[in-house]
Structure 1
Amino acid sequence: MTSPGLFITLEGGDGSGKSTQAALLEAWLVGEHRTVVRTREPGGTDFGTEVREIVLHSRGDISPRAEALLYAADRAHHISTKVRPALDRGDVVIQDRYLDSSVAYQGAGRVLDSAEIRRLSLWAAEGLLPDLTILLDLDETEARRRLDGARTRFDRLENEKSEFHARVRAAFLDLAAKEPDRFLVLDASLPAETLAARIRGVVEPLLSRHPAGTDAS
């Protein structure tokens, strides 16, 4: 199912700068008179906020399969109630994390079957894939240094050992290698404005293919 809107996701390990780049991209698109919906998974809806609290901040262990199913439940609701309607209106959706995160974190990180996780995620999202996925690639040691300097409280995934994050990073890079037409891989150690300029350079041509999102005002 196609829609007039433009769907952009940002992926990468914790501390790679996804939120910063999402904010910079949103500001530029608004300046280009585009209607932007900025969201995230989990947490893009009220239901997602509850799921986020469970999977990232609740006490005690969550089994890997239960974790994967909770993310999928959030995704199904989020896509159906927020993302699809925005794309159908012709908006630009900028989303922090999507199904590639599930494949990387619950598949490679939790050592589940990555192909099964991808199938589950696609089923939950009714097959919706982004027009562009921006992968901010960062060495896990540098990512931890950034997190240590910026956070006093770490969530369940951020608290995982370096071996976990190394598996996640490798999985993201493998996904990008398999779908080079969808992924833009960037070195997240570069200055934020340098990264933002490169992202704009790739997004700008896509806007001409999705003119329905233009704000006539």
Structure 2
Amino acid sequence: MISEIKLAFRQNKFAIILSAAILLISLVLGYVLEPYLHSFLNPVVEDLTQKVESGVIQLTFEDIFLNNIQIVFQMFVYGIALCFSVIVLSFNGFFVGYYVAGSDNLFFTLLLIVPHGIFEFSSCILACASGLVLFNFIYRFLKSLWNQKEDSVVQSLKNAFGESSVKLKQAIIILAIASILMVIAGFIEVYLTIPIANFIVNLFI
């Protein structure tokens, strides 16, 4: 199993690097373009803040995990249409960059993001990459199906799937790792992020 994970990462290195680059660029753009994104993203921030304060959104491990894992699976499924995985990842990057740029206390805001963000961002990168690999599988499957010379449609489908299924398997492996990282991120966000932030702040007081 470990060898299959290593192979999945090695053979899909480009998708992972591309996803990381997309997230990094969107984070930077969200931060730099904060004044221009205010009218677009500020209503989203205010809506989330209101829902948290009113109790509509509970900052429990279950709620945070379910919300984040939904994003992970969206990026995987949206890989069926290549660009949509990238769009979901980019929006989340823009949003975080915008939120950090608009904060009153940059240092404390980063303290509230970095501990779990290391795992959450890694999870999002891999989730987007899994969507790109899923798209690769679909492309290979359709290409192989087009080139099939079998008289039987069923046999043609089987052959095409057999020739391209390794990419589907690798997409699922990368998705599974992304999901595990999101579980870790949720646990840290709920139980460790604030204590870590307060501890570091107290060191400088």
Q: Report if TM-score (shorter chain) is over 0.5.
A: no
Higher helix share: 2
Bigger RCO of structures 1 and 2 (CA < 8 A, at least 6 apart) = 1
With normalisation by structure 1, the TM-score equals 0.28
Q: Which has the larger radius of gyration?
A: 2
With normalisation by structure 2, the TM-score equals 0.30
